[in-house]
Structures are given as structure tokens and as C-alpha cells.
Amino acid sequence: MNDNVKIPGQKSAPSSSSSREDAPSSSAASASAASPSSSAEALLTVEGLVKHFPIRTGMLRRQTGAVQAVDGLSFDVRPGETLGVVGESGCGKSTMGRLITRLLEPTGGKIVFQGHDITHLNTAGMRPLRRDVQMIFQDPYSSLNPRHTIGTIVSAPFQLQGITPEGGVKREVQRLLELVGLNPEHYNRYPHEFSGGQRQRVGIARALALKPKLVVADEPVSALDVSIQAQVVNLLDDLQDELGLTYVIIAHDLSVIRHVSDRIAVMYLGKIVELADRASLYSAPMHPYTRALLSAVPVPDPRRRGGKSERILLKGDVPSPIAPPPGCRFHTRCWKATERCRTEEPPLIELRPGQRVACHHPENAPDQAPDDPALGSAREAVEIVTAVPKAAEPAPEPVPEADPESAAGEPEGTDGAEGTDGTEGADGERRKQ
Ligand SMILES: Nc1ncnc2c1ncn2[C@@H]1O[C@H](COP(=O)(O)OP(=O)(O)OP(=O)(O)O)[C@@H](O)[C@H]1O
């Protein structure tokens, strides 16, 4: 991390959102999350969003199947908040981002922005909305035209919308460059003259040109060096405070998501499996998949380093979205899977105020099907790795032995983030079934 930048700490929730999170939920525990009670005040509401990419084969290009990239997402995004979206590669995060910015046409479902149904707006219909909804892309190398100066790139939204900002385009572009921490004198330079972090700042300046209300950032820092990531994350954070932006930030990295998000949606194979405010998700994850993801996150607090840690290693690959498993899509990799999981898809329900989960056998909440027989395959689904890291450096003493009792037990504790330190492969690591 660069010393010159503010290291992002725990993000403070937007002033209005804390009261929203704390407000008693009007929905009963069994109420579906498809129509969140807060929809009325949402900037964006998504209901049952579906995107299936057809697979065509043969001379006649007949459709023989479909990639079920996004399959029934329901959530809302509240003004001023950051919704983090996390999940393994291929789970449909980018597709979701492109759907809500209407870069892709949905196969089904509904997208409502500021009370307007934008689900099937055509290019002309979307034009006014382009000002309010912008996207920042992952790769600052391919998302900027190498033949255009950054002045031309950042001014493109004004040309496209036919807008002349007060004071002229050049002055406004230079103001934007300054806003994102770039030298306004570099207006005439080309993308190849900038580093990756600077290029991402150019992409952010372009996205902010039309003063959008909602910014969807798809892996905004994953292509950058770790030392630069904090700078860009801080920049996004500062711009949100300064300009009152609402973010949907997509990332596979739970550390980044933790820093930036007020609420977090965890996706698996085209579905949201858990949606919760940050504190609840990290302190008491309910979906086994969330717990497994969190168990791999390094602990940021150095005082907790050096403790024994348990990691849940999911075995096998994510199944194909062309033929996803029936019932709960996670059941083929879940250590808690039962017969019901194999046959019945669990709805995303609010089991605690502000925390929704799609699971028959959640963690940190009452079992929804306690008498259901376990699947034989569940025992083989995961591997628990207990790691006892090396003693603090310098380490004159021998490395302490791991406790054999706990190394042989079931996954313990409720906080997947507790005790993890990211020291995979450290001395003292032992594996158990
Ligand atoms: N245009 C497309 N045509 C066909 N399949 C697609 C298309 N775009 C995405 N997919 C498929 O949809 C699924 C979800 O992809 P998506 O890129 O949304 O996932 P992701 O979670 O963002 O993954 P990553 O982090 O790797 O980008 C993948 O199986 C992908 O191959």
C-alpha cells in the first residue's frame, strides 16, 4: 500500500443508510426478497432479472441450449450506498452489471431506475438515461482508445449527448482530470503515456463527465498493481462523498468488497445466494458458500494474526451454467447438502433484518429443514485446512504444534473471517476431511 494514500478502513455507511439497515424489517422471515420493502426509496430496483445467452450450432444456427449467466436476480440499490457484488469467476457478475447499465438486453425480469421501467428501452430511449448511469470497466488498457488523446476520451460523453458544459468542454475535461488526481496539462497525451492506475483514473473521469447518479464499476482495480489498488479505491470513495454517487461495485476480491461496500450481494452460478449489510455478512455469514469465501480472506488486524486459522476449501469446479444443478445450485459443493437441496431451490428470504439468504440449512440461523437426510456426497464436498502460521518474525522459538483436537473436528465458529490470516501453505498446515 502506498504511504501517500489514505488506507481504506471500514467504510462508514451513508448517513441515510444506517437508519435503513437498522429499521425493523416489515417483511416476515418468510417474505420473499423479490420485492424488498425499501423498493420505494431505491434508486434502482431489479426483479427476477434473467440473461440466457443462446448456444447455436449447425448450418442453420439452431439454438441447442443456453448459458444461464444470470437467472432470477432481485435486489435494490439505495441512493448514496455502495452495493458490492462478489462471487467466483463466471458466476454472472459482469453480465449483471451490463444488464443494469442496459449494455445487454435482458431475457427476462424487470429493471426500474428512479421509478422508470428501463428493462427494454432501445438505444434512443436509453439516451437520456446514459447521463445518469455509467460504467467503469476492469481493464484500463483495452477500455481506452489508444488513438485518442485523453482529452478526446473524457470529452466523448459531451459530444455523444450534444452537451456543452459551462465554461466549455476543454475546461470541464481539465476540471475532471484534476478531480481524479491527474494533471490537467496532460489533456493532449495518449493512453500509452500513462500507467495502469492513471488510465483507470481517465476511465473514472470519463464515467463522471455527465454527473451520473449510478456508477457500476466492474472489477475496477483487479487489473492494477496491489500498491495502486488502494489509491483507486480511495479515489472512488472520495468521489462518492464529494459527488453523492451511488455505486454497484463488482469484484471477486472480498477484501476490496469489504472496504468499499455498505451492503454485499454474494452470487453463485447466476443467482444471489446471500444479500446482507457488510457487518452482518462478515460477522455471521449465513450461506455456506459465503462462509467458504470468507474463510479465505486475510485478517486485516495484525493483533489477530498468528492465531490458528481454518479455511474451507471447496472441491471441484463451479458447474457449467449451461446445465446448472437442480435445486440449490450450490448443493454439489456444499458440506451441508441434503435431499431437499438437490430437489428444491431455496428462495432468498430474510432470516434476520437486513440479511437475506437462499439456503435450506443456513449458518448462524435456524435450520429451515432440520429433519432432511444428508446427501452422501456432502461429506466429500469440502476440505478443511487448519493453518498454524509461523510465530511472529523473528522466530527464535520452534513453531508451536497445532491442536490435534480441533484439527480433527468439524468446521467451527460462526465467523468465517475470524482467525483467517491468509497464510496458506504456512508451516503447521494440516488437512482434514
Ligand atoms: N456474450 C456471451 N455469450 C455467451 N456466454 C457468455 C457471454 N457473456 C458471458 N457469458 C457466459 O456467462 C457466464 C457468466 O459470465 P460473466 O462474465 O457474467 O461472469 P463473471 O462472474 O463476471 O466472471 P468473470 O469475473 O470471470 O468476468 C459465463 O459462463 C460466461 O462464459
- Pocket mutation for ligand 1, best pick of 67, 253, 318 (most atoms within 8 Å of C-beta): 67
Among 155-169, 192-206, 289-303, 370-384, the minimum mean pLDDT is found in 289-303
302, 245 contact by CB (below 8 A): no
231 CB under 6 A from ligand 1? no
Full-model pTM: 0.80
DSSP string, 213-251: SEEEEESSSTTS-HHHHHHHHHHHHHHHHHHT-EEEEEE
Question: What pLDDT sits at residue 379?
Answer: 75
* CA-nearest residue, atom 26 of ligand 1: 89
191 CB under 6 A from ligand 1? no
Q: 107 CA to middle of ligand 1, Å?
A: 15
Across the range 160-183, mean pLDDT stands at 92
Question: What pLDDT sits at residue 87?
Answer: 93
115, 42 contact by CB (below 8 A): no
Q: Which residue has the cell 455469514?
A: 285
Question: What pLDDT sits at residue 113?
Answer: 95
Question: What pLDDT sits at residue 41?
Answer: 83
> What is the architecture of the domain spanning 41-268?
3-Layer(aba) Sandwich (3.40)
Q: Does an H or E element contain 273, and which?
A: strand 271-277
Ranges of each domain in the chain: 41-268, 285-392
Question: What pLDDT sits at residue 388?
Answer: 60
Among 69-78, 92-101, 229-238, 400-409, the minimum mean pLDDT is found in 400-409
Who's near 153: CB < 8 A, 6+ residues apart?
144, 145, 191, 202, 206
Across the range 249-260, mean pLDDT stands at 90
Question: What pLDDT sits at residue 27?
Answer: 35
Across the range 206-211, mean pLDDT stands at 92
pLDDT confidence band for 124 (50 / 70 / 90): confident
pLDDT confidence band for 351 (50 / 70 / 90): very high
Look over the chain and give the mean of its residue pLDDT values, rounded to a whole number: 80
pLDDT confidence band for 94 (50 / 70 / 90): very high
94 CB under 6 A from ligand 1? yes
pLDDT confidence band for 298 (50 / 70 / 90): low
Across the range 271-297, mean pLDDT stands at 93
Q: What is the DSSP letter of 120?
A: T
Summarize pLDDT for 5-36 with one digit per residue, the tens: 333 344 554 444 333 333 333 333 333 333 44
* Nearest-angstrom CA–CA distance, 318 and 97: 20
Looking at the chain, the whole-number percentage of residues with pLDDT higher than 70 is 77
Question: What pLDDT sits at residue 96?
Answer: 97
pLDDT confidence band for 266 (50 / 70 / 90): very high
- First CA to last CA across the chain, in angstroms? 37
> Could you tell me if the ipTM is greater than 0.90?
yes
Question: What pLDDT sits at residue 390?
Answer: 55
Neighbours of 422 (CB within 10 A): 16
Q: 139 CA to middle of ligand 1, Å?
A: 16
* CA-nearest residue, atom 11 of ligand 1: 69
Summarize pLDDT for 272-283 with one digit per residue, the tens: 999 999 999 999
Q: 98 CA to middle of ligand 1, Å?
A: 11
Q: 105 CA to middle of ligand 1, Å?
A: 14
**Higher confidence at residue 115 or residue 403?**
115
Looking at the chain, the whole-number percentage of residues with pLDDT higher than 90 is 56
Q: Is the per-residue pLDDT at 418 higher than 60?
A: no
Across the range 30-56, mean pLDDT stands at 73
Beta-ladder partners of 275 = 265, 356
Q: Is the per-residue pLDDT at 424 higher than 70?
A: no
Q: Is the per-residue pLDDT at 182 higher than 80?
A: yes
265 CB under 6 A from ligand 1? no
**Higher confidence at residue 249 or residue 372?**
249
Across the range 361-388, mean pLDDT stands at 82
Question: What pLDDT sits at residue 310?
Answer: 73
Question: What pLDDT sits at residue 399?
Answer: 40
Q: How many residues does the chain have?
A: 433
**Higher confidence at residue 307 or residue 295?**
295
256, 224 contact by CB (below 8 A): no
Summarize pLDDT for 299-314 with one digit per residue, the tens: 555 455 555 567 888 8
DSSP string, 335-403: TT-BHHHHHSPPP-EEEETTEEE--SS-TTS--SSTTPPBPGGGGGSEEEEEE-PPPSSS--SPPPPP-
